[in-house]
């Protein structure tokens, strides 16, 4: 690999030979936009990784030269390139110029940016008016072929890496569909602005059918088993003070700890290093966060209140109203939808679980003020939503151990969102299928998801039809036997 200036533009030239000995040359440019199709924005590390992947594919017999980049036909009028148009569209979505809202969320913007990272290397240098149905179909075929090649290479043991040096992952059909959907959304604006007569990305041939994943929800007895397992795990994590001969400094640490001082504050008060305070705390048999695990309250809030993962992690103690005259509830101030900003009514059992959790926070010397997170990390900071999966998985594993001993079937694989669906299903039954009330509880903007769970419940009720059928046959047989006996 060599670094050189290509037409006053820095780039990286990759030279190599294929398995037949034919020499090849690939130029990767640092500057954006790039009209050669490499995508631009390359640095030395990314270029080296690309060369590594290419040689690995050649060794495995899976490499083939890239198809030539589509060239723009002669422009009839001055139009922006797709990259310029798409970046302007994204900025307009960020600041609220496009769309009914005041701007898209950061996560949505990141998802759009990820998709543009796949679209711009192919379409970026083209004028928007030169994008045709044939080019769109060629892009779809290219993405599906690349994903298939990566899957084959990984299955063959080829070590492929992305630009960041992480192990490469093939795009799933749903990810390719997201790329095509964003392409169609951007080109919708191009049609509106008069650069295209129609949207070439909306053609029927561009569709990708995605198999809808099965969305599970626990039965009521399964949910109860999960809560029991989470409670048992929390109970086991309680730590006790171990009496032993303590030094003067350790006793001073203990005194400050009993006054409610946090380890970082103790370190500042005693002018000690944080690691030294941690050592003394271990001598005392206690550590900030030790004995604090939130598996029970996480499962309770997901399954008894139907919170989203992000809503649960952002919930603060000041959002609780456990002693409100109108009934215990909590306030969701931030949500991914406007309907998600709401008040959620709390059941008595959930209130008890939250009170027990607050006592655990205080015992672990974690922040318990109104601005503190209700379910924090062991450092008192906002909990990552990925940790919720770990909590739920641990409770499921413990529940399955108990059910195996009792000869009961195992719980199905569940996620935090599956517990949200569990709440919807139980709440519908408990409230006489009051769909509107349940929608308000979980913050649904429309009733599609609620009605989908409702339909599943109706199918579950139909399981009794066969039992009723057999009961009628048995009753008829008994009546016939009575007639025979009487005759």
129-145 average pLDDT score:
94
Q: Above 50 in pLDDT, residue 184?
A: yes
pLDDT at residue 455, as a whole number: 65
For residues 294 and 384, give the distance between their C-alpha atoms in angstroms, rounded to a whole number. Answer: 13
Q: Could you tell me the pLDDT band of residue 289, with boundaries at 50, 70 and 90?
A: very low
Q: Please, what is the end-to-end C-alpha distance for the chain in angstroms?
A: 102
395 pLDDT more than 90: yes
Q: So what's the pLDDT on residue 241?
A: 41
Measured CA to CA, the distance from residue 31 to residue 4 in angstroms comes to 13
Chain position carrying tokens 């063959």: 156
Q: Quick one: fold of 80-211?
A: DNA polymerase; domain 1 (1.10.150)
Residue of 184, 158, 174 lying closest to 209 (CA atoms): 174
Has residue 55 got a pLDDT over 80?
Answer: yes
Residues 264-271, mean pLDDT to the nearest whole number: 86
Within this chain, domains 80-211 and 295-461 share the same CATH topology: no
Mean pLDDT value of segment 104-125? 91
Query: What pLDDT, on the 0 to 100 scale, is given for residue 19?
Result: 83
Mean pLDDT of 316-334: 91
18 conformational bin, left if phi > 0, alpha if psi -120 to 50, beta if neither: beta
Domain ranges across the chain: 1-66, 80-211, 295-461
Diameter of the chain by CA atoms?
110
Q: Inform me whether the pLDDT recorded for 351 exceeds 90.
A: yes
- Taking residues 342-358, what's their average pLDDT? 92
pTM (2 decimals)?
0.59
Q: Which of 350, 366, 342 is nearest to 439 (CA)?
A: 342
DSSP 427: H
Q: pLDDT band for 219, please (50, 70, 90 cuts).
A: confident
Question: If you average pLDDT over residues 416-424, what whole number do you get?
Answer: 91
Cis amide bond preceding 100, omega within 30: no
Predicted confidence at residue 247, as pLDDT, reads 83
pLDDT given at position 71 = 56
pLDDT-derived band at 313 (thresholds 50, 70, 90) equals: very high
Q: What is the CATH number of domain 295-461?
A: 1.10.443.10
Q: Lowest mean pLDDT: which of 55-64, 82-91, 167-176, 317-326?
A: 55-64
Q: Which of 226-230, 288-292, 325-329, 402-406 shows the lowest per-residue confidence on average (mean pLDDT)?
A: 288-292
Token reading at 261: 């001082």
Instruction: Name the nearest CA neighbour of 197 among 119, 130, 98, 122.
Output: 130
How far is Cα 85 from Cα 480, in angstroms, rounded to an integer?
A: 81
Q: How far is residue 400's CA from residue 408's CA, in Å, rounded to a whole number?
A: 9
pLDDT tens digits for range 34-47: 667 677 778 888 88
Average pLDDT, the chain: 83
């Amino acid at each position: 690999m060599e670094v050189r200036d290509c037409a006053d533009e820095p780039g990286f030239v990759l030279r190599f030979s294929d398995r037949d000995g034919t020499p090849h040359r690939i130029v990767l440019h640092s500057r954006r936009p790039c009209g050669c199709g490499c995508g631009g924005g390359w640095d030395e590390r990314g270029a080296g990784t690309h060369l590594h992947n290419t040689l690995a594919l050649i060794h495995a017999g899976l490499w083939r030269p890239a198809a030539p980049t589509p060239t723009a036909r002669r422009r009839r009028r001055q139009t922006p390139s797709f990259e310029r148009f798409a970046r302007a569209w994204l900025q307009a979505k960020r600041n609220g110029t496009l769309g009914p809202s005041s701007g898209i969320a950061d996560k949505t913007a990141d998802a759009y940016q990820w998709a543009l990272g796949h679209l711009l290397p192919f379409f970026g240098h083209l004028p928007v008016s030169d994008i045709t149905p044939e080019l769109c179909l060629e892009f779809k075929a290219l993405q599906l072929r690349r994903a298939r090649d990566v899957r084959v290479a990984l299955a063959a043991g080829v070590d492929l890496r992305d630009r960041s040096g992480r192990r490469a992952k093939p795009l799933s059909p749903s990810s390719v569909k997201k790329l095509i959907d964003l392409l169609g959304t951007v080109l919708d604006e191009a049609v509106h602005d008069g650069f295209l007569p129609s949207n070439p990305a909306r053609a029927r041939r561009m569709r990708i059918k995605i198999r809808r994943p099965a969305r599970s929800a626990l039965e009521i007895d399964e949910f109860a088993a999960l809560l029991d397992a989470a409670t048992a795990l929390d109970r086991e994590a309680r730590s006790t003070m171990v009496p032993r001969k303590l030094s003067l400094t350790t006793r001073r640490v203990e005194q400050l700890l009993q006054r409610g001082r946090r380890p970082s504050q103790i370190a500042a008060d005693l002018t000690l290093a944080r690691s030294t305070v941690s050592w003394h705390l271990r001598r005392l048999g206690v550590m900030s966060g030790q004995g604090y695990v939130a598996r029970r309250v996480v499962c309770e809030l997901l399954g008894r209140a139907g919170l989203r993962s992000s809503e649960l992690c952002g919930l603060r103690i000041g959002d609780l109203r456990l002693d409100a005259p109108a009934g215990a509830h909590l306030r969701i101030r931030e949500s991914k939808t406007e309907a998600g900003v709401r008040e959620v009514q709390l059941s008595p059992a959930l209130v008890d679980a939250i009170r027990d959790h607050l006592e655990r926070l205080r015992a672990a010397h974690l922040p318990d003020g109104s601005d503190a997170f209700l379910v924090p990390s062991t450092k008192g900071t906002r909990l990552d939503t990925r940790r919720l999966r770990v909590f739920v998985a641990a409770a499921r594993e413990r529940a399955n151990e108990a059910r195996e001993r009792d000869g009961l079937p195992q719980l199905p694989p569940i996620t935090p969102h599956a517990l949200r669906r569990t709440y919807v299903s139980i709440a519908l039954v408990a409230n006489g299928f009051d769909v509107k009330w349940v929608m308000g509880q979980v913050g649904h903007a429309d009733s599609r998801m609620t009605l989908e769970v409702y339909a599943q419940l109706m199918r579950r009720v139909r399981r009794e039809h066969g039992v009723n059928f057999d009961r009628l046959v048995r009753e008829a047989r008994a009546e016939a036997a009575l007639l025979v006996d009487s005759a």
